[in-house]
Structure 1
Amino acid sequence: MDDPGMFSVFEDDGRHAATMGVTGSGASDPQAFHLANALVGNPAGTPAIETTGGGLRLTALGDVVLAVTGAPIGIVIHGTDGSRTAIGSQEPFLLAAGEQVTLGIPDHGWRDYIAMQGGFHVDRVLDSASADTLSSIGPKALQRGDTLASAHLPFASVGQSQPWPDDLPASGDLVELDVTLGPRDDWFTAQGVADLLGEEWTVTMQSNRVGLRLHGDRALERGVIRELASEGMVPGAIEIPANGQPVLFMRDQPVTGGYPVIAVLTEHALALAGQLQPGVRIRFREYRKDCKEQ
C-alpha cells in the first residue's frame, strides 16, 4: 500500500451479531461492492477495499487482477517502463508485478471498491472482515506501507465491463432520499416534521461511516422535551440531537442512541447516502408503501 488515500478500510456484507450489541457495518454502497467482486470472478461477499474520497495508490508485488467500482474516478496504471494506461470503466484489469495503480479524486459520488481476484487475506471478527470504525471491531484502516496478501480463494471467469454510474451526486447537487417516519416523529411538532420533509439539508465535513451530520436553515422543533431512554438504532436512522440538526446514521452506526429518531431511510436511500460527499444537499421524502421507490 503506497498511499491509502483519504480513508480506506476492508468491508464485506457485514456481521450479524445484534444479540451481542455489535453493529452490522459492511459496505456503504452494497451494489458497487458486489459488482467489484463479480468483475474479478470472486464469490459474492468477498472482502474488498472501500476507499473514500480517492487518492489511493497500490503497487503489485506479483501479477494480480483488480477491479474498481463505485464513484466515477480516474484510474491509471503506471508501467515499469514508464508507460501510463488509463482504465475507462468499471472493468477487470491486470496489474503486473512492479506496476502501480493510482486513483484520482471523484467528482460525483464519494466511495469506491477495489476487489482482487482470489480475494484479500483479511482476519475475520464475528464471521466478518468488515471494519467497524466506531467500535474498532475488525481490521484497522489501511496505512501507507501495509502489505496486502491474497486469500487464494477459488474464482470464476472475469465479468463484463460496466460503465460508470451517471446518477451519483456531486457537491452542491440536490438529491431526494426516501424515509419512513418514526418511531419518534410524535416527539416533534407538526412544524418540526414538516421542516424535516420541506427543508434542504447539507452534508457537512463532519461526516464519515458512522453518520452524516447535516445542516439546515432551521432546527427541528420538538414537542416532547423530556429525556429519552437509550433505544436500539439501525442504519439509516435520522436522530435529532439537542441542536435540532439531523444526524443520519450510516453502516457503522451506534447500537443505541439517546435522542429521538424522527425517521429512517429506506434500504435504497441508505445505499445512495453511502455515496454522498460533503456539500451535497438532501431533501427527505416520505415513503409510502403504495408508491414505488425512486
Structure 2
Amino acid sequence: MSRSGAFDRGALQRANRAVGNPSGAAALEILLGPLALRAAAPTVVAVSGAQAPVRIGRGDDEVGDVELPADVSRERALALDPGDRIEVGPAADGLRLVLAVRGGITQVRRQDPADDELLEVLGARSRDTLSDLGPDPLQAGDLLLVAPERGLDAVPAAGDAVPSSSAEHPDEDTIRIAVLIGPRAELLGDEAVEALFGTDWTVRPDSDRVGVRLDGPAMPVPSGAASVPSEPMLPGAVQVPPSGLPVVFGPDHPTTGGYPVIAVLTRTGLDRLAQAGPGTRLRFVTTDGDGTRWSPPARR
C-alpha cells in the first residue's frame, strides 16, 4: 500500500501548528468546498491550503458572527463555542483545503451507531482511494471526535498567516513545479528531458489523488524505453507512458510501476501540484544547487 495521507502536506503541518497540534495530527482534506461544521464542544480550528472564505455563525446571539475573506483566513486559530457553525469555502484560489481541529480527529460517529468508525487503519487515519482502504468519506450528520488536549502546544497568538504553496507567484499564468531529475532520465534520453522542461503542461480533468495527468505535446519516447521491470514508486514520481504524456503520482499512487520515471517532484513541488486544479498550466523546473538529480531516500 502507499502511504496515502494529505496531498498538500505543508498545508496539513501549518493548519496543525496553528491549533497547537503535532504536525501529523489527523485533519480534514476538503476538495474545493464548501464545508459546514457545527461545534458540539468548545474547540479551536484552523484552515490552510487553498485560499477560501471562512464564516463563523455564533450560537450565542449576543456574540457577533465572524467573516474572514479568502486572503486573510488561512492558518488563523479560530475558537468555537458549542453551537457555533463554521462554513469554509468554496476555494477561491487552489484546489484542496485542510481543516485542523485542536487535539486531532480520532473517530467518526455516524448517525447509525452500528456504523461508527475508528479512523486508524494499518497505523494511518487517511483513506487510500486506490486500494479502497480507510474510513469512508464524511456524510451529513457525522460527528467528529477529537483527542484530549493534554500535552498540546499553546495556540499561537493571531498574526499574519504563513504563505502557502498555492499563494506563491499569484500573478503567473503558469505555476512552477520543482523536480529532481531521474532515476530513468538516461533511459528516455536528452530529448525527453528537454521536452519535460520546455513544455507548458496542462492538468487534465481526470486527475485525482492517485495521479495527476498532464496534457501537452507528447514527449519523445525512444523505442524500447516505454516500459521497464516494475519497480517501487513514491509520491511525486513523474512517469512517462508510451503516449509520451506524463503522469505525476499523488499520495494514493500504485506501489509499483512499469513505465520509466523521468523525474521526481520535491516535497514543495508536490504541495504546489496538490493545489493545481483541472486546466491549470504548469512548468517543471530543476532545483537550485547540487540537488538536481534524484536519489533514493535514506534508510532509517
Cα offset for 1:97? 1.7
> Does 2:24 match 1:45?
yes
Q: What is the CA deviation profile of residues 250-273 of structure 1, one whole-angstrom value per residue up to 9, with x for unaligned ones?
A: 111110112121111122212222
Q: Could you say if the C-alpha distance between residues 157 and 189 of structure 1 is closer, same or farther in structure 2, counting changes exceeding 3 Å?
A: closer
Identity of aligned residues (%): 38
Q: What is the CA deviation profile of residues 211-250 of structure 1, one whole-angstrom value per residue up to 9, with x for unaligned ones?
A: 211111x111111336432221111101122322111111
Q: What amino acid sits opposite 2:161 in the alignment?
A: P
Q: Could you say if the C-alpha distance between residues 201 and 24 of structure 1 is closer, same or farther in structure 2, counting changes exceeding 3 Å?
A: same
Maintained 8 Å contact 2:12/2:23: no
> Could you say which residue in structure 2 is the equivalent of 1:29?
8
Q: Secondary structure of 2:106's partner?
A: coil
Maintained 8 Å contact 1:175/1:283: yes
- Which of 80, 85, 88 aligns to 2:66? It is 85
Q: What amino acid sits opposite 1:116 in the alignment?
A: V
Distance in structure 2 (CA, Å) of the matches to 1:209 and 1:185: 24
Give ranges in structure 1 of 5+ residues lacking alignment: 1-21
Give ranges in structure 2 of 5+ residues lacking alignment: 108-118, 293-300
> Does 2:141 match 1:156?
no
The 5-angstrom pairing of residues 272-283 of structure 1 reads 272-283=272-283
> Could you say which residue in structure 2 is the equivalent of 1:8?
none
Q: What amino acid sits opposite 1:96 in the alignment?
A: D
TM-score by length of 1: 0.83
> Could you say which residue in structure 2 is the equivalent of 1:106?
91
> Could you say which residue in structure 2 is the equivalent of 1:177?
177
Number of corresponding residues: 270
The 5-angstrom pairing of residues 113-262 of structure 1 reads 113-122=98-107, 123-154=119-150, 155-161=152-158, 162-163=160-161, 165=163, 167-168=167-168, 173-216=173-216, 218-225=217-224, 227-262=227-262
Maintained 8 Å contact 1:108/1:169: no
Q: What amino acid sits opposite 1:253 in the alignment?
A: H
Q: What amino acid sits opposite 1:194 in the alignment?
A: E
Q: What amino acid sits opposite 1:27 in the alignment?
A: A
Cα root mean square deviation, aligned: 2.4
> Could you say which residue in structure 1 is the equivalent of 2:39?
60
Q: What is the CA deviation profile of residues 9-68 of structure 1, one whole-angstrom value per residue up to 9, with x for unaligned ones?
A: xxxxxxxxxxxxx21122222222112112212233211111121211111122221111
Maintained 8 Å contact 1:173/1:281: yes
Maintained 8 Å contact 1:66/1:92: yes
Distance in structure 2 (CA, Å) of the matches to 1:195 and 1:39: 41
Q: What amino acid sits opposite 2:136 in the alignment?
A: K
Q: Could you say if the C-alpha distance between residues 43 and 176 of structure 1 is closer, same or farther in structure 2, counting changes exceeding 3 Å?
A: closer
Q: Could you say if the C-alpha distance between residues 201 and 68 of structure 1 is closer, same or farther in structure 2, counting changes exceeding 3 Å?
A: same
Q: What is the CA deviation profile of residues 93-131 of structure 1, one whole-angstrom value per residue up to 9, with x for unaligned ones?
A: 122222211112222222221111122114312222122
Cα offset for 1:283? 0.9
